[in-house]
Amino acid sequence: MSRILVAGAAGMLGRDVVTRASERGYDVIAVDLPELDITDQAAVARMVADRRPVAIINCAAWTDVDGAETHEAAALELNGAAAGNLARAASAHDALLVHVSTDYVFDGAAATPYVESDAPAPQTAYGRTKLAGERAVALAGSQHAIVRTAWLFGPGGRNFVATMLALAAERDEVAVVADQIGCPTYSGHLAGALLDLAEQRSSGIHHVAGGGQCSWSEFASEIFAQAGSSCKVRPVASSEFPRPAPRPAWSVLVSERPETPRLPPWRDGLAEYLAHASQAVGR
């Protein structure tokens, strides 16, 4: 049985990767704090040398986008240096590293979907640290797949869908920004794609996000429609919700590579998420 190490296994995406890898019959090594601190290079090297996975999937990250603005060094340690630690350990034992990155490596000023060959230009501390992670992985000499995604949502973590449903339970109307466009991505769908790339031993950069695009306000409207909520959405400008880290106006990712996995439409991912949430409540 092939062995896969999942870093950040306690997080939203990591949990889905562990579940789907187990369903596919892998021997899964699921690690997070306190079992493994991936910022500790020696500890990472020991773990990989001892367990000898054929692939490492890195779902661990500093994801507090606003917090990174005032704690960039700490974010860089996890998003940048730790990614390099995993890549070097993978290289030493001929393991493939699948590393998850983000749309924030771009400036968000485009009008057409970003593809893998577009030049990064991060505008936030979070984006800079994630780009540093990509570069650390590429420089380590390991076989690697860097997977950029966007607008991730799923069970087991804070996400936009859960936030909207919680607000809908309290209000008749919510204001949601309409001038940011992206690709909502269901963590269950992305998890399967990460495993596909590991199985293909694919290399280089891949853009993997939910099919189609929408604004946050359109996403919220679809959430309420699928959930059967009567809550209304009032579209507003981003200027009504100033944040320490500016959000990209354009976060649409598509792949120019024919071998890159294509995810189902984002509405299908939302339907699966809501079905999962309903089952969890019924248990």
Superfamily of domain 3-158+185-212+251-264: NAD(P)-binding Rossmann-like Domain (3.40.50.720)
Please give the share of the chain, as a percent, with pLDDT higher than 90. 95
Separation in Å, CA 218 to CA 83, 187, 215, 221, 270? 34, 19, 5, 5, 13
pLDDT band at 153 (very low <50, low <70, confident <90, very high): very high
Mean pLDDT, rounded, for 77-99 = 98
pLDDT for res 281:
56
pLDDT for res 278:
77
Is 186 one of the catalytic residues?
no
Catalytic residue among 26, 104, 126, 186: 126
pLDDT for res 280:
67
pTM: 0.97
What amino acid is encoded at 35 in this protein?
Answer: E
Mean pLDDT, rounded, for 94-113 = 98
